[in-house]
Amino acid sequence: MAGLIDRQARCACGSNKNFTDCCGCYIEGNTPAPSAEALMRSRYVAYTLGCEDYLLVTWHPSTRPVTLDTVDKVETKWLGLEVKRHKYNLKEPDRALVEFVARYKVGGRAYRLHEVSRFVREGEQWFYVDGDMH
């Protein structure tokens, strides 16, 4: 998979940076995402690239599935990401919410995934916990 990535292409997260200078340093490297929003964006990119290992390692162990089983699923074409809001709790700085809309197509039909995701930071590492679909 990593060999097929154009590291100089614009990152799929919508930042207008190239992949290497954006989500690539989190997905391919040992650099933890510095914020819940950065983690959410990198997880979106990981979905577009099929990087299941990254998705699992950035999912909090308390809610992480054993596998994502995306190998048997119908091919998904990811179309774009819009971050609606990100909110950090001043009383609990190691917790955050990120609301986003991800657009995609399956079998030629368009869909929108609208979620408010919960994140937690342990040490220097942010983790996806779960989310509410809208």
Write down the pLDDT at residue 43.
97
Write down the pLDDT at residue 5.
65
Write down the pLDDT at residue 103.
97
DSSP 100: E
Angle at CA 26, nearest 5°, toward 85 and 48? 70
Write down the pLDDT at residue 128.
98
Write down the pLDDT at residue 100.
98
All residues at 6 or more sequence positions from 26 whose CB lies less than 8 Å from its CB, including other chains:
32, 33, 38, 39, 42, 54
Instruction: From residue 98, give the alpha-carbon distance in Å to each of 4, 42, 72, 118, 132.
Output: 29, 13, 29, 7, 11
Write down the pLDDT at residue 29.
81
What is the C-alpha to C-alpha distance for residues 3 and 64, in angstroms, rounded to an integer?
Answer: 27
**Domains of the chain, each with CATH number or no CATH:** 2-133 (3.10.450.50)
Are the CB atoms for 84 and 131 separated by under 8 Å?
A: no
Write down the pLDDT at residue 89.
81
Write down the pLDDT at residue 75.
83
* Tens digit of pLDDT at every position of the chain (134 positions): 444 566 678 999 999 999 999 999 999 988 999 999 999 999 999 999 989 999 999 999 999 999 887 655 668 899 999 999 999 888 899 999 999 999 999 989 999 999 999 999 999 999 999 999 99
Are the CB atoms for 22 and 6 separated by under 8 Å?
A: no
- Region of 91 (left: φ > 0; alpha: ψ -120 to 50; beta: rest) is alpha
What is the C-alpha to C-alpha distance for residues 20 and 82, in angstroms, rounded to an integer?
Answer: 20
The full length of the chain comes to 134
